[in-house]
Each structure stands twice: as structure tokens, then as C-alpha cells.
Structure 1
Amino acid sequence: MAKLLWLGLFCLCLTLSHGKGSVYDGFKIYELAKRSRSTGIDFVVSELVKNESYYELYNDDGTSAHIMVHPEAQPEFIQLLDGHTLSYKIVNQDVGSTLRREFDMNRMLRNRYPFQGRLGTERYYSHDEINQYIQQLAQQHPSRVFLKTVGKSFEGRWMKMIRITNGDGRPNKNVILMDGGIHAREWISPAAVIYAIGELVDNYEAHADLLLDYDWVILPVVNPDGYEYTQLSADTRLWRKTRQPRSTECIGTDPNRNFGFHWNEAGSSSNPCSETYAGPKAFSEPEAVVLRDVIHSLADRGQMYLTVHSYGNYVLHPWGYIDEVPDTWEDLDEVGRAGADAIKAATGTIYRVGCSTTLLGAAAGASDDYAFNAGFPISFTMELPRGGNNNFDPPASDIDRLVKETWVGIVAMGRKVIEKYPLK
């Protein structure tokens, strides 16, 4: 009961705190080194993150884990680590202070670089600006670029999807489907997807082979309500879920646990206040319904589904609900490694390729499992590198480098898919 009372007060403070400091003041982010299984760190982490009021596990890549810790829990946390002789370091001394500085910087950049019909890499852009951009691309390239409104978010934002072709008018080409922004706070995801759109449209000559027998269909922001909410203030920057109320205390569902394939199994939660809440039922979120319908509309021609997230340097393939791989895992591995190898050759950044559950942990009800089961032979979650003091927030100065690096991997995976699955 005490835990639930604290969680309710925490959510209330988050709602009322704008302009009065930050609810994240005094929060710290710790990096725990995972030297060996004998240290007991896996047990410690698994027990801590059950109390989401005080702890949030950001990432556990097998060698280290990042955990954000509430100020009131920090003395007990340090005592626990010391008692298990676990190595750690503080990677962010005050999350609230960091978020306020970043919010001020992003506001300044919006004023310095107003939207003027194009999206560069100088700053992060709003959902409305992204919609305007892809609409203008369709108007400027009417024979190659097509825009479709595919639905509305819970708060009534139009969700627009772009289809990019080479303009030859041939129907029934194979399809690569890509999306971004499923998790609200992962701003680098829509940025990377938007950069890919620009390369396919404006740099067509360099990528004509990608569009000869394939159309690229892209939904830039799957969770527009959450994405916009993260841009309101420093206190909302780390929001992850959708914005549909789900209890008297808590709002939102993890859209990447809401898909109707092994829904609400391992790696998801039935607690409406959890960051991985699967929702009251599969496809309870209109945003997940929109993506579901897009997946099914393209499944007969779709050869690769790619959903872009952050963070972690991974190309993850099914399954996410169980620690097993599909019978066709070698095909998935071949395509994923093409992307990882290309990125390493171009920039030196190392990506790990493999089963989602094995590398990152279970995530039942995710979109990549759903698309794979629906008929896409290649289906990936691409987790981009971490950045910034909170890991989900690469500064604007890093956007250009990260999106260009990501595009190198996407191109390599696209070309491998085209080679493996030629148009019949």
C-alpha cells in the first residue's frame, strides 16, 4: 500500500511541477559493471527494478547496466551494491539539472532554426513539422512520393505515412516498411527515419537500386502524443508511453508491448503505472492499431520491417517473447550482420546482432515479433547508440553523426534484402 501511495504522489508531482523545479532533481544514473555472473548483479538488478517508484532500468547489455535512482533510495542502493561488492560509477549526478539545461538548449535551437520546409540535422523537430515536411515532399515529387493519412492518435493527431518509389508506376513491388518514434523519449529515432526519407527522395540517384523493384513505406512517428509530450518541459522529457489514461493514478501504455502476438507475456507488465504496461488488452492503443493495419496491408509484399529505437547498439530480431530463434534465424542474422558490418567499416561503431530476448531481454507484444509473424521474412528492432547525460537524449550536435551512421546500416540491410528477396 505504501508503495502504491508513493507512486500516486510521484505521478501527481509530475503533473504539477512544471515551472517549480524538476521532479527529477537529485535523481542519479548509475552504471553497474557486470564482471561475471558470480557477482550477483543480475539478481540485484532484477529485484530493484520491481520497484519502479524508485528505480528505472535503462539498459542492460550484458556488460553493464544503467539504473536511474530516486534520491530517497540512493543510500539503500549504495549499501546494497557495496554489500554485493558490485562495481559502479555515477554517470549523471543530477538528472533534473541536466534535463533543464537540455530543455533550454532545445528551445533556443527551435528559435534559431525555425521550420522552413525542410528538416535538417540542426535540431529535433515536432510531429507537426515532420508531417508538414513529408507532405511537401509528396507535393514536390508527385510521381515518386505518395502520402497517406493512416489514422489518428488518442489525442487526435493525424498519423501520416509516406511511400517512396522510383516513379516508374509499376504496381505490386516488394516493400520495406520502416517506422520510428514508438517510444516517446527516443527522439533520435524519428530523426534517423526522417534522414532516411530525405536520402531516398532528395538523393535518389545515389540510391536508385534501392527503389528499382522495391517501394519504401515509412511511418515516422508511431507515438505522436507521447513524442509531443516529451517536448513540453524538462519534467516530461523522459516520458516513454502513449497518453491514454489507464488508471486514476497513471497514464499511458507501452505501445511496444501492446501488439497482439504473445501479448502480456514475458517482459511486459499488467501494472498501469509500469513503464512496460501492456495495456488492458492487445491493441488497446489506437497508435498500435494503426501500425497493425499498415503491417497487414503490406504483408503480402513486405520483405523487411525495421523499427528504429534507442538505445543500445543492437540489431535485434525475433523472438522477443521467448529466448528462442525462428527456424529462419540464419536469414535474419545474415541481413542484420550486413548492416552491423557496414556501420563498423564506416565509423567503427559496433552493433550486436541477435535474438531480442537473448541480447536485451524479453519484450512480448512488440511490433517486430508481430510483423515477422504476419509475414515479413526479415523483421528488426534497431537500437541506436546512446547519447547525452540520460542516454536517451543525444544532443543536437550529435544528430548529424548518428543519423548518417544509421543510414549506412539501413542501406546495407536494404541491399541485402533486395538480393535475397528479388521481385517475383
Structure 2
Amino acid sequence: MRLLVVLLSVLLVVSGRPDPRPNLHGAQVLRVVPDASWQLHYLMALQMQGHYDFWTEPRAVGKPVDIMGTAFQLPALHAALTQLDLTPTVLISNVADLLAKSTPRNTEANRQMNWDDYQEYDVIQEWLESLASEYPSVCRVEDIGTSYEGRTLKLLTIGTGAEDNPGIFIDGGIHAREWISPATVTYMINQLVTNSEMYSELLSTINFYIMPSINPDGYAYTWSDDRLWRKTRSETDSSLGCKGADPNRNWGFHWNEVGASSNPCSDIYAGPSPFSEVEMQLVRDEISKRASTLKAYLTFHSYSQLWMYPWGWTSDLPDDWKDLDDLAQTAVDALTAVHGTQYEIGSSTNTIYAAAGGSDDWAKGVAGVKYSYTIELRDTGLFGFLLPPSLIIPTGEETFEGVKEVGYFIARTYGK
């Protein structure tokens, strides 16, 4: 029976997932829970091939895995899962309908930054410039380079003290379809800058270095062509009709050792080499410039409601894991106190899955940033990547409370 399943999987995955926008009419998200290691390993192998869109990755026996199948794919996906003795449940019955409900209402005539809706990349960039112009004593913005397709990446620095004050580096949007990430990061920027008097002691003691969307080409593509696109948009292997690499498998620390794919059509393709993606080179360089003063690195993703620390490439823990865990507990307690949202805490490998080449591992393992975290924002699967705009502000409110705790801790511990 298992041989039959393996043969079926080969037939399913040989073509990979092509670049053109998938037809989401009739698409569903199925959830399965592997209860044996061989089932888990099969799901991992299936993900590596890149045929199906895994909304959550196979991480451990007993942990749910969410997989989207198009109407064309669903019969074969159901058959494969059933033969694996996995009973799929329908998590999202109509992806196209949910997508329509979460589509931004903004028009060209209404391009003002707000958090009642999601915002395009250009709107976010223009807003960063306007903040620096309106609040020059609190923040400044600089262009740090251009993406593969020529979009400008900007870094916003928030702080009123010395340039060598301890710093916190924050980024979002590394995976293009995770729209709640840039929305949450910009919400927190707005709180810090427009209420700077309220946070005067914090901002005079530490510097925040923030990039809301570090995969601009992928993010733009989710607006123009494929809302569920994850990767960058570089020409990695045009012969297969597949573009881009997973930017969070592309960092040069234990690159491509585990939890990544060498298949250019896979959503977890590590790229042809470490830091092959120009956007990740630019972010790496900005972190490296400030490595001597950076005390925390926060990178925001979705979804699953997790606050994680290294390592992602091994189940072993950093020597100072207890320090990281203690601060994470404090941050999550503050987050949960706002709306009651529950987060799981732990190292990446032990909390979700092993995946090498992530930015948080590199920040700690190479740049030496002690408090390095990956935060997976709302939700736990009801909406997945298609979180309604009505949940932007609640997500921002609670996350900001957690980030403030990190900020105050860094100020108390390392402030001059």
C-alpha cells in the first residue's frame, strides 16, 4: 500500500507548481494530523516537490498540517491522504470566497495609509517618507537599495538618543502572502512615532530599525497576480516556468541543510546559493552594519500564533535559551492580556519544524544578536493567510504590547 502511495506521489509532483496564478474557484484548504512518523515524512517529501500549497508545514507527529488544493487537485489529494490513513477535514471550504471577502477596499482615489485595510507597497513606502518629513526629531528614513525588479527598499530609524544606543531590528513581509505582517509592523511604527511623547524615555534609550516589507516584488505580485504567492520574483529557473526563492530559507547560516528544497518550483526553495536573493543581501547588510549595538531582532510572519527563538536548523537549544524564553514569556503575557490571544513559545525546530536558512538563526548565529525571534501572527487556521482587514488593528494592538516589553527590557538591560 505504501509503495502505491509513493508511486502516486511521484505522478502528482513531477510538474511542480508553475508560476501562473492558480484558479482558486473550488479550491479548499484541508487539515490533516499525522499520527505516525512515516506519514509525517511523506508529507514533508510532498511539500519538497512543490506541487501543493502547504499553508502550514509538516512539523511533528500530532501537529496539524494545512494544505490547499485547487478544484483540479482535490480528488488526487484526497486519494493520496486517504491511502496514507490520514483523514482530511475541510478547514476552508471555499478559498475564492474567502479571498473575495478579504480583498482590500482601497481604490486609487483612496491611497491614504490606514489600518482599516491592507495597503500596497508603494503606499507604505510613501507613508514612511511622510513620517520622516513630519516627525524629523523622532525618525528618519533612508533608501538602502533596490529589489530584483527595481523597487526601492527603505529603512526607518526611530529614536531620539545617540546613534550608538542599543538597537532593535524589526522586519516584516519576508513571505509575500503574509499581509498581516507588514500591516502589523506599520501599525507599531505609527504608535511609536505619532505617540513619541508617551514613549520618550524608551526612544531616548534605544533605537528601532524597521523595514515593514522586505520582499517587495513578491508582495507587489500578491496584489497584481497571485494573492497566495510566497517567494521572491527572481529568475531562478525559467526553464521550468518557476520563479523566486523562499527568502526565509536563503540566509547563509546552515543554508539548505534541512527543511528546504532544491526544487525551484517549491515554495520552500532555498535558492541556488546562500543570499542569492538581492533583497536578503540588503537586509543582511543593514543588520551587519549595526551588529555591535543590536540587542534584539524581531521578524514577523503569519500564521499560527507562535513566538519562537533559534535554532531552526537543529533541535538543540542555544546556550542562552533560558534568557530568550524568559523574555518571550514576558512579551506573550503582555500580548495575551490585550485580547486573550494565545501564543505558543519555544525554539523554532521544537515548536514548528526544522528549517535551515532562516533570518532569525542568521541574526543570532552570525550577527550575534542575542534576543532573536520569529513571531507568527494571527490566526490558527480559520482564515490563514486571508485574515480579514477587521483583524488588523486587534492584531496590531496586542503585538505592540509584546514588542514594547522587549523594548523596555532592552532599555533596562543595555541602556546607558
TM-score, normalised by the number of residues in structure 1: 0.88
* TM-superposed deviation, 1:67: 1.3
Which of 130, 144, 150 aligns to 1:156? It is 150
| SS, match of residue 66 in structure 1 | strand
**Correspondence list, 1:177-196, <5 A:** 177-196=169-188
| SS, match of residue 128 in structure 2 | helix
> Which residue of structure 2 lines up, in the alignment, with residue 65 of structure 1?
65
> Which residue of structure 2 lines up, in the alignment, with residue 265 of structure 1?
257
Structure 2 CA distance for aligned equivalents of residues 2 and 46 of structure 1: 16
- Is 1:300 equivalent to 2:292 in the alignment? yes
| SS, match of residue 18 in structure 2 | helix
**Correspondence list, 1:18-417, <5 A:** 23-33=23-33, 37=35, 41-54=39-52, 56-60=54-58, 63-83=63-83, 85-99=85-99, 101-102=100-101, 105-106=103-104, 109-111=105-107, 114-116=110-112, 119-166=113-160, 168=161, 170-233=162-225, 236-247=226-237, 248=239, 249-373=241-365, 374-386=367-379, 390-417=383-410
* TM-superposed deviation, 1:136: 0.8
* TM-superposed deviation, 1:165: 1.0
**Structure 1 81/362 Cα, relative in aligned 2: closer, same or farther at 3 Å?**
same
Contact kept? 2:40, 2:58, Cα under 8 Å: no
**Structure 1 357/298 Cα, relative in aligned 2: closer, same or farther at 3 Å?**
same
Structure 1 residues 222-278: Cα deviation after superposition (integer angstroms, max 9, x where no partner): 000000110014xx0000000011112210011111111111111111111111111
**Structure 1 261/38 Cα, relative in aligned 2: closer, same or farther at 3 Å?**
closer
Structure 2 CA distance for aligned equivalents of residues 91 and 112 of structure 1: 34
Structure 2 CA distance for aligned equivalents of residues 232 and 407 of structure 1: 30
> Which residue of structure 1 lines up, in the alignment, with residue 3 of structure 2?
none
| SS, match of residue 353 in structure 1 | strand
> Which residue of structure 2 lines up, in the alignment, with residue 19 of structure 1?
none
* TM-superposed deviation, 1:389: 5.9
> Which residue of structure 1 lines up, in the alignment, with residue 5 of structure 2?
none
* TM-superposed deviation, 1:205: 2.6
TM-score, normalised by the number of residues in structure 2: 0.90
Structure 2 CA distance for aligned equivalents of residues 363 and 39 of structure 1: 17
What amino acid is the match of 2:26? Answer: G
Structure 1 residues 265-309: Cα deviation after superposition (integer angstroms, max 9, x where no partner): 111111111111111111111100001001101100000000111
Structure 2 CA distance for aligned equivalents of residues 48 and 171 of structure 1: 48
Greater mean alpha carbon deviation, residues 90-99 or residues 185-194: 90-99
| SS, match of residue 259 in structure 1 | coil
CA RMSD of aligned residues (A): 2.3
Greater mean alpha carbon deviation, residues 321-330 or residues 385-394: 385-394
Contact kept? 2:138, 2:158, Cα under 8 Å: yes
* TM-superposed deviation, 1:80: 4.6
Structure 2 CA distance for aligned equivalents of residues 112 and 396 of structure 1: 18
Structure 2 gaps of 5+ residues are: 1-9
Percent of aligned positions with the same letter in both sequences? Answer: 36
Figure out how many residues of one structure are paired with residues of the other and give that number.
Answer: 402
Contact kept? 1:127, 1:227, Cα under 8 Å: yes
Greater mean alpha carbon deviation, residues 72-81 or residues 223-232: 72-81
Contact kept? 2:159, 2:207, Cα under 8 Å: yes
Structure 1 CA distance for aligned equivalents of residues 342 and 53 of structure 2: 28
Structure 1 gaps of 5+ residues are: 16-21
